[in-house]
């Protein structure tokens, strides 16, 4: 059974001390339901993606049920570290595919700044192997990904300046996104000269701590036909991969095995040639929690051969007009990274791009009618890759 996204909503990302948890969620839920032309009675199931470790509220689905005045609707809370948003979409997608529901509301939500930054950093550390790596060796996520960055530098000759170019690109597009946390461009000099966080990463190599929400309404093919929905995109394929909890048990630090596997599954389901998938995809959102992670993603997703991902950023091939535009909404780096909302935000961007609604010069050339979302939890502990399209398979 084919599944479509028929409505989307998105809050402003940032330090949202002006709203509480349900108010922040409603900023995305209300426009999602309005654009889908549905009301509370037509929602069969509600999936809420939130890690929520740092938030004042834990029982978020019933809170949103009450605040949104829903009636007779099942709900589920989903958590998969930083891949929580795409995991929530998968739950809604499979609920419709299985025939358990026809219309599903998926909400990604995080209020991370309700806790002090040191507390948030420690809690994020629990998405790795907490006992072996955080408690014993003091690793936090900048350190986790710095291991991958230094391995990539040693093997393929990438430099700190190469990583900084990812930040420059993503801030260039984030400045054009009205919902982004950081709406300003930066120069290469600013990025290169910013203070170190975990070598080789500097301040501008790292995604921020963010509050935000995003929502999509999913519907079955039958409902799309019954309602005569004209503006929609389809989920063409989704792959899910899992990595080891302990990084010392991994074979490579220049790739995320879970991402490579998830991409292969998603491409196969979507009918995309795995030899050169970038020729059949118009653009992508990849999980740039750190700048080196975006370059590694180019290779895991087969946008470039192993060791050649760094050439894409050097040659500006991931800007609009290049081989494949990547993170033209600012990515996690500039748009922000409210963990539960990130994967849902990627779906909102796919909807916007495929329907040619991107604002302020961010619109990609939609020739193939396909868009990709790559959402990583932990350091490749989970990866979800989803292919969206204008036409169903």
Higher pLDDT, 272 or 116: 272
**According to the model, what pLDDT value does residue 135 have?**
65
Asked whether residue 216 is domain-assigned, the answer is yes
Q: Which two tokens stand for residue 135?
A: 């408690």
Going by their DSSP bridges, the two strands 370-377 and 382-389 should be labelled as antiparallel
Q: Which two tokens stand for residue 57?
A: 């509220």
| 53 — pLDDT class (breaks 50, 70, 90) | confident
Put the strands of the sheet holding 211-220 in their side by side order. 74-78, 45-49, 103-111, 211-220, 3-10, 233-242, 382-389, 370-377, 283-285
Q: Which two tokens stand for residue 104?
A: 């599903």
Q: What is the pTM of this model?
A: 0.97
**According to the model, what pLDDT value does residue 110 have?**
97
Interval 283-303: pLDDT, tens: 999 999 999 999 999 999 999
Asked whether residue 72 is domain-assigned, the answer is yes
The Cα–Cα gap between 389 and 393 comes to: 9
| 309 — pLDDT class (breaks 50, 70, 90) | very high
Q: Which two tokens stand for residue 229?
A: 């929905």
Q: Which residues are marked as active site?
A: 82, 337
**Are 369 and 390 contacting, i.e. CB atoms less than 8 angstroms apart?**
yes
| 55 — pLDDT class (breaks 50, 70, 90) | confident
Asked whether residue 253 is domain-assigned, the answer is no
Give the CATH number for residue 214: 3.40.47.10
Least confident of 2-16, 35-49, 153-167, 244-258: 244-258
- Average pLDDT over the chain reads 95
The total number of structural domains that make up the chain? 1
Half-sphere exposure of 293 (CA within 13 A, CB side): 30
The Cα–Cα gap between 93 and 106 comes to: 9
Asked whether residue 178 is domain-assigned, the answer is no
Asked whether residue 378 is domain-assigned, the answer is no
Note down the domain range covering 98: 3-116+209-227
**According to the model, what pLDDT value does residue 136 have?**
63
Asked whether residue 268 is domain-assigned, the answer is no
Asked whether residue 49 is domain-assigned, the answer is yes
- At 207, is the secondary structure helix, strand, or coil? coil
Asked whether residue 386 is domain-assigned, the answer is no
Interval 110-163: pLDDT, tens: 999 998 888 887 788 778 777 777 666 677 889 999 999 999 999 999 999 999
């Amino acid at each position: 059974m084919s599944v479509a996204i028929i409505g989307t909503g998105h809050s402003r990302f940032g330090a949202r001390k002006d709203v509480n948890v349900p108010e922040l969620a409603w900023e995305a839920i209300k426009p999602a339901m309005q654009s889908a032309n549905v009301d509370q009675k037509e929602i069969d199931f509600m999936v809420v993606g939130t890690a929520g470790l740092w938030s004042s509220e834990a029982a978020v689905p019933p809170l949103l049920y009450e605040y949104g005045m829903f009636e007779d609707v099942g709900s589920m809370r989903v958590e998969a570290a930083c891949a929580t948003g795409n995991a929530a979409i998968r739950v809604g997608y499979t609920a419709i595919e299985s025939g358990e529901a026809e219309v599903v509301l998926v909400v990604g939500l995080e209020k991370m700044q309700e806790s002090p930054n040191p507390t948030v950093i420690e809690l994020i550390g629990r998405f790795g192997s907490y006992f072996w790596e955080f408690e014993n060796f003091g690793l936090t996520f900048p350190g986790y990904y710095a291991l991958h960055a230094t391995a990539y530098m040693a093997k393929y000759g990438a430099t700190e300046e190469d990583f900084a170019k990812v930040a420059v690109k993503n801030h260039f597009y984030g400045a054009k996104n009205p919902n982004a946390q950081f709406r300003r461009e930066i120069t290469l000099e600013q990025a290169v000269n910013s203070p170190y966080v975990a070598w080789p990463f500097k301040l501008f190599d790292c995604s921020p701590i963010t509050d935000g929400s995003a929502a999509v309404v999913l519907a079955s093919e039958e409902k799309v036909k019954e309602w005569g929905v004209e503006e929609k995109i389809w989920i063409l394929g989704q792959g899910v991969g899992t990595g080891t909890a302990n990084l010392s048990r991994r074979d490579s630090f220049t790739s995320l095995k879970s991402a490579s596997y998830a991409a292969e599954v998603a491409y196969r389901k979507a009918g995309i040639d795995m030899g050169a998938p970038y020729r059949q995809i118009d653009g992508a959102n990849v999980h740039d929690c750190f700048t080196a992670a975006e370059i590694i993603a180019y290779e895991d997703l087969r946008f470039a051969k192993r060791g050649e991902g760094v050439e894409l950023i050097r040659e500006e091939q991931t800007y609009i007009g290049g081989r494949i535009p990547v993170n033209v909404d600012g990515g996690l780096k500039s748009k922000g990274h409210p963990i539960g909302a990130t994967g849902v935000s990627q779906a909102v961007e796919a909807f916007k791009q495929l329907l040619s609604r991107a604002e302020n010069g961010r619109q990609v050339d939609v020739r193939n009618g396909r868009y990709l979302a790559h959402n990583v939890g932990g350091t490749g502990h989970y990866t979800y890759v989803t292919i969206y399209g204008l036409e169903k398979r």
